[in-house]
Structures are given as C-alpha cells and as structure tokens.
Amino acid sequence: MADAMTETDRFTKEREGMVEFQIRSRGIRDERVLAAMRKIPRHLFVPKGLERAAYEDRPLPIGEGQTISQPYIVAVMTENLELQPESRVLEIGAGSGYQAAILAELAGSVVSIERLDSLAGRARGNLARAGITSVRIVIGDGTEGYPPGAPYDAIIITAASPSIPQPLIDQLAEGGRLIAPIGPKDCQDLVKLVKRDGRVETTSLGGVCFVPLIGEFGWSGEDL
Ligand code: SAH
C-alpha cells in the first residue's frame, strides 16, 4: 500500500492542523513559536492511550490530577516570554515536559521544577523520547524558584497561584518577563510581569483555568 499513511505522518498532519487552526488563526504571529509547536511531537507527552487526542484543542489529564495545557495556551504563554536563543528560562510545573520542550526549542537553557517525583520522572522520560537533552528537570517547590540558575530572562508558572511568588520576582533578570495564572483556584487571570529599572509592570493576557500551584509561596496543600 504505497499511499498508506503511517502513524507518524498522521501525527505530523494533525500537528500542522493544530498550528494553523488553533494557534495561528487565533492571533499567534511569532514564526519561531509556530515552528516549535509544529516540530515538537506532543503525542509523546500525553499518557499511553491518549495519543490520538494529543492534537485536540483542549488540555488533557497526565495523571496525579494534573493536566497538560491546551496547545493554544502553551503558544500564548511562550510568545509572551519573548525568548531569544541565549535566554535563560525557568519553568515552574514540569508536568508532562511538553511546555519545557517548546521552551528548549527557543531558548538557551531551561530549568523546569516539578514538586511530584512521579511526574518529574515521566517528564524526563518524555523529553528523552523526543530527543531533547537540554532541559534540566529539578524536583522541589518551584514557588521558591531555583537560585543556582538565577537570574532568569524568562519565568513561566504553569500552575495557578493566589499571587506571584516573591522569590520568582527576585530571580527575574532586569528586562525579564514572567507569565503566570494568578487568582482563585478554579480559574484565573493570565498575568505578564516585566521587570524594568528594578520595578515591575503587570498586564493581563485574559482568563485561563489552571491546576493549583502548591508550595510555600502558592497554595498550601490544606487549602485544597
Ligand atoms: N507545564 C506542564 C503542565 C503543568 S500542570 C506541561 O507542559 O505538561 C502543573 C504542574 O505543576 C503539575 O505537574 C504539578 O504537580 C506542578 N506543581 C504544582 N505546584 C508546584 C510547585 N510548587 N513546584 C513545582 N511544581 C508544582
């Protein structure tokens, strides 16, 4: 069957559709972001049995009550980080490792913190299967940041917090960008913070719904 589509071809085609109809059509213009999302095989970052849903326009469960974000939200957050090839990036909430893989395509170095051992292990495995070796997954409470790699040009929090953890603001470089969902536990405001002359400016990018950030400067486990 010369014209049979392999599974890999099918995923590639679905990924192109995802970029055109979910992401570009909604206003994402940064060609580097679009190229990264066209390249990274998202189906390698979802649990077994959910691969066929990997390119759908929604978040998916990744175990432990956590989720891999909707592709469009990954694109919005990534575009707003304004990454350069030499950027140093910190992610809080590695989850599946998918967002970290996209960041690794666009930046110089990526550290991603995950509080759950099981997910950190899975993120490492997923990244290895996708051939990505430049992400460092660290187990711990990301609300405290990761001082050994500071300052960071960009920080992305992929879990919801009542406010922006101060240690992360402190670890942001001058001119750096931080993106985070801030607000109540169910749904939040996606906030962009820029540090200029030692001061912070914040703008809102719209409404989102993320799982909670649990830690010293986020929600306490007992609040949930
Ligand atoms: N970025 C991920 C999705 C993240 S889901 C992806 O691309 O798949 C949110 C993740 O944040 C979960 O894995 C959760 O365990 C983690 N998390 C919650 N609080 C955290 C904290 N204080 N530090 C690090 N990770 C945290």
Each residue of 62-98: pLDDT tens digit? 999 999 999 999 999 999 999 999 999 999 999 999 9
Nearest CA to ligand 1 atom 10: 93
| Mean pLDDT of all residues in 153-160 | 98
| Per-residue confidence (pLDDT) for residue 3, from 0 to 100 | 59
The number of the ligand 1 atom at minimal distance from the alpha carbon of 93 is 11
pLDDT band at 198 (very low <50, low <70, confident <90, very high): confident
Give the whole-number percent of the chain exceeding pLDDT 90. Answer: 95
Catalytically active residues are: 69
Instruction: Give pairs for 181-187: CB < 8 Å, separation 24+.
Output: 181/157, 181/208, 181/209, 181/210, 185/160, 185/212, 185/219, 185/223, 185/224
| Mean pLDDT of all residues in 141-169 | 98
Which residue among 211, 216, 219 has the greatest number of ligand 1 atoms within 8 angstroms of its CB, and so is best to mutate? 211
Cα of 200 vs centre of ligand 1, distance in Å, is 24
The mean of the pLDDT values for the chain is 96
Instruction: For 123-145, write each residue's pLDDT tens digit.
Output: 999 999 999 999 999 999 999 99
Domain ranges of the chain: 2-218
2 has a pLDDT exceeding 60: no
Cα of 79 vs centre of ligand 1, distance in Å, is 20
Q: How far is Cα 22 from Cα 12, in angstroms, rounded to an integer? A: 15
The number of the ligand 1 atom at minimal distance from the alpha carbon of 96 is 8
| Per-residue confidence (pLDDT) for residue 100, from 0 to 100 | 99
Which residue among 70, 210, 214, 219 has the greatest number of ligand 1 atoms within 8 angstroms of its CB, and so is best to mutate? 214
* Residue 192 vs residues 132, 152, 201: alpha-carbon distances, Å: 27, 15, 8
The number of the ligand 1 atom at minimal distance from the alpha carbon of 62 is 8
pLDDT band at 4 (very low <50, low <70, confident <90, very high): confident
Is the pTM higher than 0.85? The answer reads: yes
Q: Which fold has domain 2-218?
A: Rossmann fold (3.40.50)
Q: How far is Cα 38 from Cα 111, in angstroms, rounded to an integer? A: 22
